[in-house]
Amino acid sequence: MVTTAIPYVNGNPHLGHAIDYLLADALSRYHSILGENVRFLTGTDEHGSKIYKKSLESGKDIQDFVDEKAAVFQKFITDLGVEYTSNIRTSSEKHKNLCQKIWQKLNDHIYQGRYEGWYCEGCEGYISQKEYDDNGGICPDHQKPYEKLAEDNYYLRMADFKDKIKTAIENDGLLILPNKRKKEFLNLLADIPDVSISRPKDKVMWGVSVPDDDSQVMYVWIDALSNYLTQIGYPDENIEGIWPPDVQIVGKDILRFHAGIWPAMLLGLGLELPKVLLTHGFVTVDGQKMSKSIGNVVDPYEVINKHGCEAFRHYFLRHASTTEDADFSWDKFEASYLELANVIGNLVQRLANLCMKNDIDGRKKATDLDLDFMVMMNECDLSHAFDYAWEKAQKINKRIDEEKPWAVLKEDENAGKKLLAELADEVMKMALHVKPFLPETSNKIEAIFGTDKISVPEAPLFPKD
């Protein structure tokens, strides 16, 4: 089972969301190739005052507003060529109902308290005195002064779980990738305070009510993080054999919640912790953070529409590191598209052409992945695994250049045909290894070389304008 974080639907999908989906999709497809019955969970986070405000600004009914936003995200996932098995919306009755049951199961670790301190409306987050001092009382992301807040909240007692979480992370029972993030988080964990998990209903009207206390609404964590459980029907349904997730994909900004509050919830529920938290970075543009004020925000659709979603996937899964910030520039993107056309597109075109002219029979699809490739995939080192698959295409191109099948055919027709069949088999292997990353391309290649008589595709895989 692999999961993505669930995006907060107060805005439109951006490049960062795409990274989450693509990493999960590549892992999910890889495990499907291995014959596993993969679950791929995703969804949308639809509660909170920010969303409520946006709906008021738009003049729409709040439920209509989130319905529309959720549909935009679902379309985005599909437009990336991503195939999930389950997609939950936190505003659904199923989620709200199960989420309240989860809260009740955690009752022993929840207490009533009073929050007095700083808050940023834009961040929808509590601000520590240290953060307040560091930022001179003004939120750097929203350019607004922090507000003073004094209100009753429910708290989750982190002290009940801290030691167990620390041990699980230290001995990699809960493996945080990459390793540097594990170290960063362990430093944070030492001082992790109890967590406020509700807010007064008169401040936040749009959310899941706290069970047995109508004056309070769940604040972010129990609502959002529960999605990984409510999707599979917990606690109403038996999740044995399904739980825990093998890999949960998170951005570096939300790792601390997934490595802190989330394991605390699971320990409180008596459930196993996820095996791996795979942490990725942000998307930068020309080396800079994307921001409206700099004016360098790139709309993912602009990129997808340029050369299709396979070119998008190639760029972000191969040329962006799996765990560091992924830098985008139009120049690099165009260069990476040319690479696709020149390496894979060209290989398919010229080899299919030679096979067609020489009447080569269709080949069987490859089924076995190389061990080296599997090691990388199992370690979630996706960009290097993609490189490995890519090198297969380069090697076949090189063999064609060096072994010159056309010359062999002239001298010895049988030897020439044998060579072409062998090269076509290699292409089938390459197609299998690129399948987690470029599923559509892989399927096309398998169709071209897998029919009775190999023939040249009607249109090149990656046309150049």
Distance of closest approach, residue 131 Cβ to Zn ion, in angstroms: 10
Helix (H, G, I), strand (E, B) or coil at 91: coil
Q: Which of 47, 50, 139, 429 is catalytic?
A: 139
In order of 326, 333, 335, 377, 380, the CA distances from 323 in angstroms are 8, 19, 22, 14, 9
**Amino acid sitting at position 227:** N
Distance of closest approach, residue 198 Cβ to Zn ion, in angstroms: 20
141 is an interface residue for Zn ion by CB under 5 A: yes
As to burial, measured by CB atoms within 10 angstroms (0-12 exposed, 13-18 middle, 19+ buried), residue 210 is buried
Tokens of 433: 């290894």
94, 114, 142, 398: which one binds Zn ion (CB under 5 A)? 142
123 classed as catalytic: yes
60 classed as catalytic: no
> Given the complex with Zn ion, which of 122 and 200 has the nearer CB atom?
122
The stretch near Zn ion (CB under 5 A) out of 38-46, 96-104, 137-145, 383-391 is 137-145
372 is an interface residue for Zn ion by CB under 5 A: no
376 is an interface residue for Zn ion by CB under 5 A: no
> Given the complex with Zn ion, which of 50 and 435 has the nearer CB atom?
50
355 classed as catalytic: no
122 is an interface residue for Zn ion by CB under 5 A: yes
Q: Which of 14, 164, 384, 444 is catalytic?
A: 14
> Given the complex with Zn ion, which of 199 and 313 has the nearer CB atom?
199
> Given the complex with Zn ion, which of 103 and 132 has the nearer CB atom?
132
**Amino acid sitting at position 409:** L
Helix (H, G, I), strand (E, B) or coil at 232: coil
> Given the complex with Zn ion, which of 138 and 159 has the nearer CB atom?
138
75 classed as catalytic: no
In order of 184, 323, 392, the CA distances from 251 in angstroms are 14, 9, 31
Sign of CA dihedral 147, 151, 157, 159: positive
31 classed as catalytic: no
With b for 16 or more beta-carbon neighbours within 10 A and e for fewer, the 423-449 pattern comes to: bbebbbbbbbbbbbbbbebbebbbebb
Q: Which of 53, 75, 94, 142 is catalytic?
A: 142
Q: Which of 60, 123, 365, 384 is catalytic?
A: 123
Beta-carbon contacts of 434 under 8 Å, excluding residues fewer than 6 positions away, are 344, 386, 389, 390, 393, 441, 442
Helix (H, G, I), strand (E, B) or coil at 318: helix
How many residues form the binding site for Zn ion (CB under 5 A)? 6
120 is an interface residue for Zn ion by CB under 5 A: yes
> Given the complex with Zn ion, which of 139 and 351 has the nearer CB atom?
139
Asked if 89 and 70 touch (Cβ cutoff 8 Å), the reply is: yes
309 classed as catalytic: no
Asked if 260 and 182 touch (Cβ cutoff 8 Å), the reply is: no
139 is an interface residue for Zn ion by CB under 5 A: yes
Asked if 251 and 5 touch (Cβ cutoff 8 Å), the reply is: yes
Residues engaged in binding Zn ion (CB under 5 A): 120, 122-123, 139, 141-142
Which amino acids are annotated catalytic? 14, 17, 120, 123, 139, 142, 289, 292
